[in-house]
Chains A and B, each alone.
Chain A
Amino acid sequence: MDFKYTIEGGDFSRAGHASSDVKKLLKQLNIDNQLIKRIVVALYEAEVNIVAHAKNGVIDVSILPDQVFIKLTDQGPGIKDINLAMQEGYSTASQKVREMGFGAGMGLPNMKKNADKLNIESTPGVGTTVELTTFIQ
């Protein structure tokens, strides 16, 4: 089963919308609750990163018999040094974004912790692709 969402950079009023929808879908499919939690934490962080850091993006969700595979592709500034960005506490979030409680530099570490596989590819000045894989049993 495949689902697609489009994300607008800067639109915090809809941030988390796709994650919430995916959570509902996974519940309907009777996927284990703890597994849903991990998938949703990783997806939310990736979704918010497009809103906070990129211009726009798409989320492709594939629900397969043995795994949930989510690919987030954005157009934006990209990430110059992915290892640095992965460090807890590293953030380039704007002051406005920080005032809302984002910008702790914990999103990528949360993705790493909660997805079974995290793959990030980025071209500075072009955009970023994040792949989250979670195996179902």
Chain B
Amino acid sequence: MKVSDLVEKLELEVYSGENGLSNLVTGGYTSDLLSDVMGHASENQVWITLQTHKNVMAVASLKDLAAVILVKGFKPDADMEAESNTHNIPVLGTKQEAFEISGKLYGIIGKF
């Protein structure tokens, strides 16, 4: 599955990193702690979080994550958007809470 498929199925907003919409997605990880994601997320996962600053993109790119989904209507800081464009890792958004969107993502792709 591609990031663009998730955007469609979960009706996500696309804030930045459009060039990464074709990135492959194999799972997801939900956390607001950067070193938790650093230690436990895997390549090609989508990261669900409420953190909106550019350090999120540093972690996402070092871990080769597929995309970031911001919850509860949070919008990325300008420098987060810029980093997302540089690394071709889309920043997406939803009004839903982490619990709901994580559940829906799990329903679509399961845990690999």
Which residues in A have some Cβ–Cβ distance to B below 8 Å? 12-13, 15-17, 19-20, 23, 37, 40-41, 44-45, 48, 100-102, 104, 106-107, 109-110, 113
> What separation, in Å, do the CA atoms of A102 and B62 have in the docked complex?
16
Min CB–CB distance B96 → chain A (angstroms): 20
Given A15-B58, A16-B58, A20-B58 in contact, is the A100-B38 Cβ separation under 8 Å?
no
Size category of the binding interface on chain B: 20 to 34
Known: A12-B55, A16-B55. 18 other contacts (CB 8 A): A12-B53, A15-B55, A19-B62, A37-B64, A44-B38, A45-B38, A48-B35, A100-B55, A101-B32, A101-B49, A101-B55, A102-B55, A104-B36, A106-B33, A106-B36, A107-B35, A107-B38, A110-B35
> What separation, in Å, do the CA atoms of A20 and B89 have in the docked complex?
15
Given A106-B36, A109-B39 in contact, is the A100-B58 Cβ separation under 8 Å?
no
How many A-B pairs have beta carbons closer than 8 Å: the answer is 64
Judged by a CB distance under 8 angstroms, whether B97 is at the interface is no
Given A20-B62, A104-B33 in contact, is the A110-B38 Cβ separation under 8 Å?
yes
Given A45-B38, A109-B39, A113-B39 in contact, is the A101-B58 Cβ separation under 8 Å?
no
Q: Quick one: which of B32, B39, B55, B56 contacts A41, CB cutoff 8 A?
A: B39
Min CB–CB distance B66 → chain A (angstroms): 15
**B54 near A13: Cβ-Cβ < 8 Å:** yes
Kindly list chain A residues whose C-beta atoms are within 8 Å of the C-beta of B38: 41, 44-45, 106-107, 110
